[in-house]
Structure formats: structure tokens, C-alpha cells
Chains A and B, each alone.
Chain A
Amino acid sequence: MSNVHRDDIGSKLGMWLFIFTEILLFGGLFITYAVYRYLHPEAFHLASQELDVPIGTINTIILLISSATIAMSITAIQQKKKKLTLWLIASTIVLAAIFLINKYFEWGAKFEHGIFPGSEYLDSLGYGDVLFFGLYFFMTGLHAFHIIIGMAVLGFMFYYVKIDRLTFDNFQLLENGGLYWHLVDLIWIFLFPLFYLIA
């Protein structure tokens, strides 16, 4: 097929539609959360105290910053500042990596306490705790998976900017990558209070 003219709006529309599916994907989990939270308010309250608020807060801020850097990279590319663009994308990826490392230690600590899906200790705690941590691992795990995908996507963007496939008048892909990254941030904005702050 001949693609004589490209369609930026079409491409962006496609990205948004994809984002909608992601919102609903997590939506299913938010429904689950709402129901179990309602059924076990006390246990959710207590279980959430096990989570480390400072680490959560730091991670939130890290993600927010990374969201800002990737947003700025779009301004940079429009202003034809290639170097700055590359820097901003790179720092987004680095921030994402830091987020994951934090997550790794956070999960690791939980595992050490014997808290992981199916563990005997967790099963002995009671329904609410099992469900709370089940959701915690499932949702943050799925979120982390999205971060990893996002890092890969941004890695490609970095490469494309570098080889000038993306330029000041042709940067829709970068914008789409950015949209995806903001989605990841958006979801965390809700995960954070729902898991860490309800204690």
C-alpha cells in the first residue's frame, strides 16, 4: 500500500484507543479491589500498614519526574534540540530503572517476611490479608511489567531520534511513546493511595 502521506492524527488516535484498553484492563482490577476492600475494610486497613510509605512516596515522585522529562522531550524535539531530546529520553529510562530497583527491594522485603501469594504465612493471616497482598502483587506486578515495556518503547524512541528517524516535523511516534509512559504514571497515581495510604 502506498503511504504517500502519513497521518499523525490517525496514529495518535490509535495510541489513545490503545490507552483506553489499558485503562479498562486495570479497570477490571480496580473493580476487584473495590469489592474486596468493601468486604474486608479492617483487614485492608491493617495490611496496608505493612507497606512502606516512604518508599512508595519516593517512587511516586520518581515516576512523576520521569513523566515530566518525557513530556519535555517533545518540546525539545519540536525546538530541534536533538541533544536535549536524547538526554530527556535517557533520563526517563533511568528514572524508570530506579523505580524498578526500588520495587525489587520492596518486593524482596515482603518475600523475606514470608508474604507472597500462596505462602503459608500469608494464608494464615486471614481472608482480607490474602486478598490485599494478592491484589498488591498482581497490580503492582502488572504495573511493573508495563514499566518494562515502556522502557523498551522509549529505548526505541531514543534510537530513532538518534538516527534521525524522528525529527522536529515528524515526531508522532515519540509523542505516542510519551502517551504510553504517562499512562503508566496515571495508573500509579491511583495505585499509590489505594495500597499505601489507606492505613
Chain B
Amino acid sequence: MSENKQHDAQKSYLEETGGRKGIFKWILSTDHKRIGLLYLYSIMSWFFIGVTLGVLMKLELIAPGITIMGAQSYNATFTVHGVIMIFLIVIPGLPAVFGNFMLPIQIGAKDVAFPKLNLLSWYIYIAGSILVVSSLFAGGGPPDTGWTFYAPYSFKTGTNMLPAVLGAFVLGFSSILTGLNFLVTIHRLRAPGMTWLKMPVFPWTLYGTAWIQLLATPIVGITLLMVIGERIFNIGFFDPAKGGDPILYQHLFWIYSHPAVYIMILPAMGAISEIIPTFARKTIFGYRAIIVSTLAIAFVGYFVWGHHMFTSGMSGTALFTFSILTFIVAIPSAIKVFNWVSTMHQGSISADVPFLWAASFIFVFMIGGLTGLILGALAVNVHVHDTAFVVGHFHFIVFGGTGFAFFGALHYWFPKIYGRMYDRAWAKTGWIIFFIGFITLYGPMFYLGIRGMPRRYFDYLPDYHGPNIISSLGALVMVTGFVIIVINLFKSARSGEKAEMNPWGGTNLEWRIPSPPPLENFDEIPTIDKATYKYD
């Protein structure tokens, strides 16, 4: 590989093909930027499937009784929707796309530590996602257990559980390997002078995320393996008829899946922490506090899994511990919010597209987080657990948090990635429609939940009709916004006007190299001498 060092410094990574043709210049490339884009395209494709399933559910829920599908289809729809969204989209989401693309650049490296492993992770991701999606079509019908695969139902049902579970298991490996790669990259490949405390926030959040990926994913791996063993060999780990304990399954599942929600949100917070200083032309407020809170979330987030099981009959001691820790883990998130808002104070703010996404992120994230507090309180949780309230909470924080940050990051780094700028007026139009649709879609769910409408109900009592109509209409508004956004980006990537090197006036390393970046990012590894986010 070292022989073709003699490349033209001006050639961008998009032009540099390594002598490969057609699709091979993508699927055989070990360039972290191309791999980032591979992830972007694959994630976007699954996202279309996922959201379409979501919209189908909303159409079903527009009126009581069978509207467009029956119980079995609905159950399968929310299961596959949940599995796709969680395991295929928001968990890999920001780390795999923007982490891959930006991490090496932001820390001044030419690539990640193990480029081949990086490409392998993508292949594993594709293999896993194909398994998951194949469960839709093959054999006994799509799985119908919910994305949580709760035992004992998950090994009694006759539907395609195995491919879905196996797919989730395989995806876990992809996640682990990406995390491992990033950790070694951050530990070993920072440019000279880039000390830990000069590193931008986005790499820091990736660092925290990577640890969670590394340490939590194996637990769900082994749990899913046990479910597979259960289905094939009838071992009886979680089968009450053989003495197994279904609650233990829930413990193991959430030991992973709670930290997983922080896998989703940490890089999102990182992206927001990049966007806000850039558009406020101001050093990020409380850099150290943001770093410390990132690590605190990663660490404490490991010990609160039980808040998903408050009504499962755990001991009072466990409930006490989990509830109090749940409240404590909210503090670092609060700290971040305060620091972001303070960064805006006395800044010089340009409310451009990425900033609009970031500001709306803060808003919906607060709603999601604060309803999380309501869920975390024992007494209230008993009432709203497993109702539409929970569905509202996690769409606000997963879609509103991670999703908004994803779109924000996409609009922020788009000119760097493609070297072209999108149409800002259309982007703003799309954003406002999307935002309004979002609130209309998920807002009523809180009310429904408080009124007692259980989740995973394809049919409901007529009492709940009103809010459901509003919610379904919101979904349609959102679809409109989404289509505008996607078409705008899609067109601009091909034919938008050429973007400058630093269109937003950012200070981090990615803004000091050409757009799009050359194959090896830097002609010469930079030396860092001043703190990050310095505007002077």
C-alpha cells in the first residue's frame, strides 16, 4: 500500500479510486471516508423501510378497529420497525457514519487504526441487517415479539425469530469492532500536540460511546445466543416450565439495552457540541464539564437498566437503587444542556440550517429527557409503564435526539463530505415542516399514555380516538418535511454549487483541509498547539 505515496495532493477522496471501478471503488475501499459513506447509504436505505413501517402503524391507529392491517401484521410491523430502528439505524448511526468520516480528521490522523477491520465491520453490518430484514419475508412470517424479544413468548411464537435474533447478534459484532477501532485510534493516532484536553467534543463522545459499545454489547450477544440455544436445544434458561426465570432475561437484555440508549445519544450530543460553537462563533462553554459529563453518562448509564423493569416484580431494594441511579444519570445531561445554552450567550449567532437543527434538538431532547424523569419515578412509572407515554418518551429522545442530531450533522458536514452546498431555503422549509410534524405526531402520545392506553395495541377503545387522529395526521406532515429534506440533499450532492473549504467558519481540523478532503486527509500530519474551539 505504501508504494503509491506519490499521489496528487489536490485529488479528493471521491476522485481517488485506487484503480478500482464502479461499485468496487466503494465496497473494497478501506478509506475511512468512503466507509463512512457506505454506512450512510446503507443506513438511509434501512431508514426508508423503518419509517415506512412507522407510517403504516400510524395509519392503522388512525381509527379503532382494523383500518389497514390485522393484529398479526401490526405486531410484526412494530417488531421489525423497532429492530430496524434500534439495531440498524440509531445504534450504528452517528458513530459509523460521522464517526468514521470525521474522527480521524478531527484528531489529525490519516485513517483509523485498523482500516481493514473497519471495512470488515461494514460487511458484518450488512450481513446482520440482511438477516434482520430477511426475517420479514422468509418462513413462518415476520417476528412478532417486539424489539425486546421478551422470554418466554420469544421462543414460543412460530414466527421467524431466529433470523431476527441472529441478525441482532451479528450486528453486535459490527458495533463492537467499530468501538474497538475507535478506541485504539483515539488512544494511538492523535496528532502531535493533540492532548486529551485539546480534543474536540465529538471525538470525546465517540470515545465514551466506544467504551459502551465494547463493554455492553457482549452481554446482549450472549443473551441472544442463549435465546437461540433455547429455541434450538430447549435448554430452559428462561423457560418457567423448566425453572428458568423470565425476569433474568429482562435483566440481561437491559444490561445492554439501557447503555445502548447512551450509545445513541452521546455522539448526537457530540455533534451538537460541534455545531453550536461554530454558529455562535464562540468557544464552547464549559469544555471540561462537557467532557466529564460525557464520561459520567457512559459510566453511570451502565447501572440503571432496571428502570425498564419497575413493574416486573423486582425486589424493593433493587427498585430503590435503580430509581435513584436513574435520576442521577439525568444530571450530566442537564449539565450539557446548560452549557450549550450558555455557549449561545453573547455569541454571534447565525441561525443557519445546522444551527436550527441543533436548537430544535435541544428542545425535543429536553422534552424527551424530562419525560424520562417522569418515567424514572417509581410511583408514576407503575402507572405509565408500557403505555403510549413510553412510546412518546423514546420517540422524542431517540428520534428527536439522535435523529435530529443526525440530520443536523448531515447538514453541517455535508459541504465537507461532498464539496457541494445544498439549497438553504429548501432545507429550512423541510426542517420547519418536519419539526411541526414531529411535535404533532409524538406529542399526543404522552396524553394517551397518561390516560392509560397501553402500547403495542393495534386496536384501542373509542375513548382514545381523538389524540390518535392528531398523531396520525402529524405523521403525514412529517413525511412531507422528510421528503423535502431528502430530495434537497440528494440533488445537491450531485449538482449543488461548489462549497468552500470552511463555509461555516468552524475551527476544528476538518475545516482546515479541502472540501472534499484528499485521500490521506492531510499532506502532512498537523501539529496542534492551541485548544480547540478558539475564535481569535
Contact = CB atoms under 8 A, between A and B. Distances in A.
Contacts, number: 117
Interface string B1-17: 11001000000000000
Contact of B180 (A9, A17, A123, A128): A17
B222 A10 contact: no
B428 interface: no
Nearest to A126: B243
Given A2-B5, A31-B251, A130-B235, 11 more contacts: A3-B1, A10-B184, A17-B179, A21-B218, A27-B222, A117-B229, A117-B234, A127-B243, A134-B235, A138-B237, A142-B225
B363 interface: no
Interface stretch (A32-40, A51-59, A153-161, A174-182): A32-40
Interface string A35-47: 1100110000000
A4 B520 CA distance: 14
> Which one of A3, A25, A26, A35 has the highest number of Cβ atoms from chain B below 10 Å of its Cβ?
A25
B245 interface: yes
A67 B242 CA distance: 38
Interface in A8-34: 9-10, 13-14, 17-18, 20-22, 24-29, 31-32
A183 interface: no
A123 B2 contact: no
A152 to B, nearest CB: 17
Nearest to B247: A35
Contacts of B1: 1-3
A22 B218 contact: yes
A142 B1 CA distance: 38
19 contacts: A1-B111, A7-B188, A9-B188, A10-B184, A14-B180, A14-B184, A24-B215, A25-B221, A28-B221, A28-B223, A31-B252, A31-B255, A36-B243, A117-B229, A118-B235, A131-B237, A134-B237, A137-B235, A138-B226
Contacts of B245: 35-36, 39
Nearest to A30: B222
Contacts of B31: 1
Contacts of B181: 14
A135 to B, nearest CB: 8
B217 A21 contact: yes
- The 9 nearest A-B residue pairs measured at CB: A127-B243, A118-B234, A28-B222, A25-B218, A24-B218, A10-B188, A134-B235, A2-B2, A117-B233
B291 interface: no
Interface residues of A, number: 39
Interface residues on B, range: 35 or more
Given A21-B215, A22-B218, A123-B242, A32 B252 contact: yes
Contact of A17 (B30, B214, B248): B214
Interface of B: 1-2, 5, 30-31, 110-111, 113-115, 176, 179-181, 183-184, 187-189, 214-219, 221-223, 225-226, 229, 233-237, 242-245, 248, 251-252, 255, 520
A39 B115 CA distance: 47
A184 to B, nearest CB: 16
Interface of A: 1-4, 7, 9-10, 13-14, 17-18, 20-22, 24-29, 31-32, 35-36, 39-40, 117-118, 123, 126-128, 130-131, 134-135, 137-138, 142
A24 B30 CA distance: 29
A41 B31 CA distance: 54
> Which one of B31, B214, B236 has the highest number of Cβ atoms from chain A below 10 Å of its Cβ?
B236
B318 to A, nearest CB: 12
> Which one of A2, A7, A18, A32 has the highest number of Cβ atoms from chain B below 10 Å of its Cβ?
A32
A40 to B, nearest CB: 7
B518 to A, nearest CB: 13
Contacts of B179: 17
Contact of A10 (B187, B215, B217): B187
Contact of B243 (A3, A131, A137): A131
B113 A17 contact: no
B30 A138 contact: no
Contacts of A14: 113-114, 180-181, 184
Nearest to A127: B243
Given A2-B1, A9-B188, A13-B187, A130 B236 contact: yes
Contacts of A13: 183-184, 187-188
A18 B218 contact: no
A138 B520 CA distance: 46
Nearest to B180: A17
Given A1-B520, A13-B183, A21-B214, A134 B236 contact: yes
A83 B264 CA distance: 51
A74 to B, nearest CB: 21
